[in-house]
Amino acid sequence: MSTPVPQNKVVQWIEYRLPVFSWAIAHGVDYPAPRNLNYWWTFGSMAMIMLVAQIVTGVLLSMHYTAHVDHAFDSVEHIMRDVEWGWLLRYAHANGASMFFVVVYVHIFRALYYGSYKAPREILWWFGIMLLLLMMATAFLGYVLPWGQMSFWGATVITNLFSAIPWIGGDLVVWLWGGFSVDNPTLNRFFSLHYLLPFVMCGMVFLHLWALHHRKSNNPLGIDIKSPKDTMPFSPYCTTKDLFTGTVMLFVLFVFVFYLPNTLGEAVNYEKANPLQTPAHIVPEWYFLPFYAILRSVPDKLGGVIAMAAAILILFVLPWLDTSKVRSARFRPIYKQLFWVFLADCVVLGWIGAMPAEGVYIVIGRICTIYYFAHFILIMPLLGRFEKTLPLPESIHQSILDKSLKSKTGNIS
Ligand code: HEM
């Protein structure tokens, strides 16, 4: 039974002209969510909370920020010291970026574990990867804005990577910079794009959720919804769960904001950008480290850039590389183990990305890079063919009934 639109006169007047209320009820209240969704399914809404939080804090920060090489660094200090609650806004925004990546990385690994990228959710998955790319671009551009040493040198190293592209590379970098080095035009355009992209992300999230609601959510069993008995209304069941984990997430974020605000940052970024002095180590933010490790694992500059780009772009074809008919790792005994190996591989890559590119770190980085690609190119296609999967339950509601029956008879005996 669907929830009726309120009979209030104003609501009815608007509804007749633009059915926003019935639309909101259909998608926010009545949406039939699988009744076995677990807490890993709340990370998408946490990502939405973080996107909104970043936009709100970012817009407020930009009211006091000056995008000019002579003033940017000082304007950030001004925000920290003189602007009322400026320190809170800045720390919430800087640490918020990290929290955003934490929840999105968990969100992605959840999708990998339960096979949420497989048919018929490929387009939903693609929108997700585009969101990841947009997030990365936005975070990179934002890091340049305080115009500290790491801002400047990070921007120099990363934009220089484009020069590896044959023929057009050199011109492309000059075009990106708006000059012959990272300078005022660069900072200006980075600020402009950093402001713009989060709104592009909002549009992309809309498409992401449209695709989700069209084909409906996957679930821990990875089987399709077969009857209304397999579902429950999104509100209040999912909304309360989302509110709970959203609150816990904000609590964790504020532990960082209030007690450890600079733990994830680089001390050297509190020094103003100096084009004549390179910092001892140039390291990106933690969320880029696995990709940075892949970049450095290839001894050739162009090869490294291609490998780093491929590490993300390969996700676009994952739905076809994974040949298994079964979605959820719960019924894929070997994939279940290899999922954790892959996760560990990504963590080790992250660690390597933070280490100097020398000696044993290079060797480990190369092994992990090879494994990263082997997971997609070899393991996923072959495993789907040869793995003996476990029998799937008949339906979502039947599996819940069986489980509760088992626990009841277990209690009696
Ligand atoms: C700004 C970033 C993102 C936001 C706000 C977002 C939001 C959401 C929300 C609200 C859901 C439904 C609830 C849930 O399943 O957790 C969802 C589902 C999903 N998202 Fe995202 N997402 C983002 C990024 C990504 C990325 C980067 C990927 C993968 C590369 C991805 C892949 C998926 C998939 C496959 C589902 C379907 C899950 C299922 O039904 O099992 N998302 N997303």
Predicted TM-score of the model (pTM): 0.97
Separation CA 157–CA 295 (nearest Å): 12
Q: What is the mean pLDDT of the chain?
A: 97
Q: Is the CB of 232 under 6 A from ligand 1?
A: no
Q: Is the CB of 205 under 6 A from ligand 1?
A: yes
Separation CA 323–CA 280 (nearest Å): 46
Q: What is the largest CA-CA distance in the chain?
A: 78
Query: Which candidate, 169, 174, 142, places its Cα nearest to that of 59?
Result: 142
Q: Which fold has domain 31-404?
A: Cytochrome Bc1 Complex; Chain C (1.20.810)
- In the DSSP assignment, the letter for residue 243 is H
CA distances to 13, 120, 213 from 26, rounded to whole Å, are 19, 21, 10
Count of helices and strands (H, E) across the chain? 17, 2
Residue with the nearest Cα to atom 18 of ligand 1?
44
> What confidence score (pLDDT) does residue 413 get?
40
Q: Is the CB of 129 under 6 A from ligand 1?
A: yes
pLDDT digits 0-9 by tens, 223-263: 999 999 999 999 999 999 999 999 999 999 999 999 999 99
Residues 355-372, mean pLDDT to the nearest whole number: 97
Beta bridge partners of 32: 233
The token pair that represents 194 in the structure block: 């950093």
Ligand 1 center to 40 CA (angstroms)? 11
Separation CA 223–CA 304 (nearest Å): 39
> What confidence score (pLDDT) does residue 407 get?
83
Q: Is the CB of 124 under 6 A from ligand 1?
A: yes
Ligand 1 center to 304 CA (angstroms)? 29
Name the residue of 107, 135, 237 to mutate for ligand 1: max ligand atoms within 8 A of Cβ: 107
Residues 118-128, mean pLDDT to the nearest whole number: 98
Catalytic residues: 213, 217, 241-242, 285
> What confidence score (pLDDT) does residue 141 get?
98
Q: Is the CB of 99 under 6 A from ligand 1?
A: no
pLDDT digits 0-9 by tens, 364-412: 999 999 999 999 999 999 999 999 999 999 999 999 999 888 887 765 4
Name the residue of 123, 135, 212, 239 to mutate for ligand 1: max ligand atoms within 8 A of Cβ: 212
Other CB atoms within 10 Å distance of the CB of residue 113: 21
Res 154 pLDDT > 90: yes
The token pair that represents 299 in the structure block: 């001894």
pLDDT digits 0-9 by tens, 176-225: 999 999 999 999 999 999 999 999 999 999 999 999 999 999 999 999 99
> What confidence score (pLDDT) does residue 128 get?
98
Separation CA 144–CA 278 (nearest Å): 15
